[in-house]
Structure 1
């Protein structure tokens, strides 16, 4: 087993913090340098990518390969179909994954990585557009490319100026800039993002409809306007919504009565035995359609400070109901 190197006697807290701050400064300068140099080639890269009918195939070796994987994932999540192909594997069969309708984004700081450069002639023979992201405009990779994105840096944050640090930060930022510019050019919105992230919080908010979470059928508490208060209370208790709808003879929702309304009736000292549902209900209850987003139901409840809402069809017929607890269980809120 290899033992860990001994901690240098001079590696005190101040030295550690100083080195970290120098790293931030060098990497920030690298990213700002790329920002200042982007121009027509970046615009051309965006336009060329928008024309692609297939996928963006992102390639890179070593640390640039890790960046390439991240860029491919970011592109895909923002509406640009993309995948990562390892250059070494490409020359052993994976080149078959690249089609003439695709585009290759090859990443190499030096532009002289053998595993990458050996497959460039094959990529060119396929007629696949090639975008190079490199720190050297005179490199083999740059000479083969149709478009060159300059990701060069003055120096690495590594004190030995060997380990890719500032250069990978610059590549990552340039890849993010490309992905965001493509997102904007495609008009990729929050609903598109939700469809590619159905398991996330945004996906649940934008893809979950009222019909997905509402109670329906016999689970929806309802009484007629002539129901006694005791009948009304039994219905509320049996269905566990904390409220009940009041419907007319055709099933239209004409009112609602809640737990809070019951407490207020008790506080008035009224003779509860004489009251009917039609006497105590809230007329014109807040309602939603089943096709509405569940997030709209959450916003409606919050705005009116209510804990439940009724769901009706186009004729006002009661077809469902949901509560704050239903939305919480569905992780919409």
Structure 2
């Protein structure tokens, strides 16, 4: 396997890790005021992701950095064509991060309510737009012979990409709902389990349609991974309704993994297809860095990736217990 192919796979792995981990973060944020009856419940929800949400975003930074270093033309075309959409995602993530930090700074109901809304919006916007972005990456965008994006922002709002956005939005919300059932107790857990059925129905409808469309367009391995994703999603909903949230969370995570693999399998060997002329498409070959750059990156990845994985795994192990209302100190906001 060529180094270009290896780095295509590694970037797929990074995006998969980001969607699985940040996916339940987004889900918790979107459900912040849906599954809580008072401020203590909302503090419980925030505390389930408090120790890990910022670490989960590291996967996004590494995926972006790896794309820039391994496939600079892909990175350049993405950021020129998707500039507005990516800027909106960035602003939403910044607002979300600030909201987590500022929410408890002032003992005011109105203050906390406004920051809660910021968390919900800052979680919903990226969850939707990441699906739209990857839908366009797989579907293709207009590129000229110099690989310059020649379309407009509204070209990105095509039916396939919008369905991809609804798929990620609903699946991440379901993933977060199951995570809350796994990490909480009492009424919050009960409400999360009850919400899993309607959320699961929406996720199966949107994600199933998106996966079927993707597999029908690209065939091959995409069908295998799409079917695996759909089966895992259905099982996740079934186990969640049955109150087996641990197995359900594994299933929703597998569904996200299989969905991301479906997209990258459908994309390969392209990294950004051109809808203007297939000859203008960016591929793993014509968009890559030099072999020397890829060799250096490979050694760096081999040396440091295990350290990062061990550290993040240790973090999840330390904070593995359920969060209860009793664990919220009196007066904490």
Q: TM-score, normalised by structure 1?
A: 0.24
Larger strand fraction of residues? 1
Q: TM-score, normalised by structure 2?
A: 0.24
**Which structure has the higher relative contact order (CA within 8 Å, separation 6+)?**
2
Larger helix fraction of residues? 2
Give 1 or 2 for the bigger CA radius of gyration: 1
